[in-house]
C-alpha cells in the first residue's frame, strides 16, 4: 500500500478551510495565528499522540503559477495540509488525535469545512479520511522502529559514549562492574519524552546552547568527570 512503508504510515490530508471570517480574522489566518504559538517540543499535541515521528501543518493558499506558456489558475478554497509520519494503523492514530489532543485538534480543524468535532472520535476519523489523499510514493529511511524505540536507542547511544569516556583506563574488573550498573540504569530509565530537546524543556523556543548538559542518563555515571 503506497501510504505505508514498513511499520510507518504516511498520511496526507487536505482539509478545505472555511471561506470567510472568524470574528475579525479570516479562518486561514486564525489557523496560522494559532499554529504560530503552538509548542513544538514535548508539549506539542503530536508528542501526546506519541506514535508521531514527524508532522506538519501548512495552510495552502493557492496553487502555483509557473509562468507562460503554462495556464494560470487558482483554487476556489484554501486547504489545510496535514502531513504526518506515524507508527501503526490509520484508525488508531486518528482516534488518538481526537482523544489525546482534543483541544488542539479542535482549535485547528474548527476552521475547516465539514469538521464534526472531536466528541465522537469515530466521526472525526471518518471526516479526516474524507480529506485524505492517497500517497503516491512514500519513502521512509527507517521503517521498522517505533518512535519510542528510536528515542530509547538515542538515549542508549549518548549514554554509552559517556560511559566509555568515563571508564577509560580502568581495570577490566572495574569496567565490568560499571557496565553492569550501566545496563541496570538503562533498563530502569524512564521512557524518553517525544519532542524533547534532551532535557531542555523549552529547547524549541530557546537557544538550546546548553541542552546536552541536562541529559539525565549522561549525568551520573560513576567516574564521569561531570557526574
Q: Which of residues 14-53 bind other proteins (CB under 8 A)?
A: 14-16, 19, 31-32, 35-36, 38, 40-41, 44, 46-47, 50, 52-53
Query: Which listed residue (25, 164, 205, 220) binds other proteins by CB under 8 A?
Result: 164
Closest CA to 196 of 77, 43, 3, 37: 43
Based on the shown chain and the rule CB under 8 A, indicate whether residue 54 belongs to the binding site for other proteins.
Answer: yes
Q: Of 98 and 101, which CB lies nearer to other proteins in the complex structure?
A: 101
Q: State in angstroms the smallest separation of the CB of 21 from other proteins.
A: 15
Q: State in angstroms the smallest separation of the CB of 44 from other proteins.
A: 5
Q: State in angstroms the smallest separation of the CB of 198 from other proteins.
A: 6
Question: Three-state SS string across 169-190, please?
Answer: CCCHHHHHHHHHHHHHHHHHCC
Kindly identify the residues of this chain, within the stretch 87-106, that bind other proteins according to CB under 8 A.
none
Query: Which listed residue (147, 166, 217, 221) binds other proteins by CB under 8 A?
Result: 147
Q: Of 58 and 90, which CB lies nearer to other proteins in the complex structure?
A: 58
Q: Of 95 and 135, which CB lies nearer to other proteins in the complex structure?
A: 135
Kindly identify the residues of this chain, within the stretch 117-146, that bind other proteins according to CB under 8 A.
127, 130-131, 133-142, 145
- Sequence-distant contacts of 93-98: CB under 8 A, at least 24 apart: 93/9, 93/11, 93/49, 93/51, 94/121, 94/124, 94/125, 94/128, 94/129, 95/121, 95/122, 95/124, 95/125, 96/49, 96/51, 97/45, 97/49, 97/124, 97/128, 98/124, 98/125
Q: Using DSSP, state whether 196 is helix, strand or coil.
A: coil
Per CB under 8 A, which region of 66-74, 91-99, 117-125, 219-227 contacts other proteins?
66-74
Closest CA to 196 of 35, 44, 8: 44
Q: Of 54 and 122, which CB lies nearer to other proteins in the complex structure?
A: 54
Kindly identify the residues of this chain, within the stretch 184-223, that bind other proteins according to CB under 8 A.
186, 194-195, 197-198, 203-204, 208-209, 211-212
Strand boundaries in 20-78, DSSP class E: 21-22, 25-26, 52-60
Q: Using DSSP, state whether 92 is helix, strand or coil.
A: helix
42 φ/ψ sector (left φ>0, alpha ψ -120 to 50, else beta): alpha
Q: Kindly state the number of chain residues that form the binding site for other proteins, as judged by CB under 8 A.
A: 90
Per CB under 8 A, which region of 65-73, 91-99, 118-126, 219-227 contacts other proteins?
65-73
φ and ψ of 157, to 5 deg? -60, -50
Q: State in angstroms the smallest separation of the CB of 164 from other proteins.
A: 6
Amino acid at each position: 500500500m503506497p501510504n505505508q512503508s514498513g511499520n510507518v504510515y504516511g498520511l496526507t490530508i487536505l482539509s478545505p478551510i472555511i471561506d470567510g471570517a472568524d470574528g475579525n480574522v479570516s479562518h486561514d489566518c486564525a489557523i496560522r495565528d494559532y499554529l504560530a504559538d503552538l509548542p513544538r517540543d514535548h508539549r506539542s499535541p503530536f508528542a501526546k499522540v506519541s506514535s508521531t515521528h514527524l508532522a506538519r501543518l501548512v495552510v495552502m493558499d493557492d496553487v502555483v503559477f509557473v509562468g507562460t506558456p503554462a495556464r494560470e489558475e487558482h483554487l476556489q478554497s484554501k486547504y489545510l495540509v496535514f502531513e504526518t509520519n506515524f507508527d501503526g494503523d490509520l484508525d488508531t492514530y486518528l482516534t488518538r488525535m481526537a482523544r489525546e489532543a482534543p483541544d488542539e485538534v479542535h482549535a485547528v480543524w474548527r476552521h475547516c469545512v465539514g469538521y464534526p468535532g472531536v466528541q465522537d472520535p469515530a466521526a472525526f476519523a471518518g471526516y479526516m479520511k474524507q480529506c485524505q489523499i492517497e500517497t503516491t510514493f512514500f519513502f521512509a529511511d527507517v521503517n521498522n522502529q517505533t518512535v519510542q524505540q528510536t528515542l530509547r536507542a538515542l538515549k542508549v547511544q549518548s549514554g554509552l559514549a559517556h560511559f566509555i569516556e568515563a571508564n577509560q583506563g580502568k581495570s577490566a574488573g572495574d569496567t565490568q562492574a560499571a557496565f553492569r550498573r550501566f545496563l541496570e540504569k538503562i533498563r530502569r530509565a524512564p521512557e524518553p519524552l517525544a519532542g524533547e530537546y534532551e532535557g531542555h524543556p523549552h529547547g524549541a523556543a530557546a537557544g538550546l546552547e546548553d541542552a546536552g548538559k541536562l541529559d539525565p542518563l549522561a549525568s551520573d555515571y560513576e567516574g564521569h568527570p561531570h557526574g
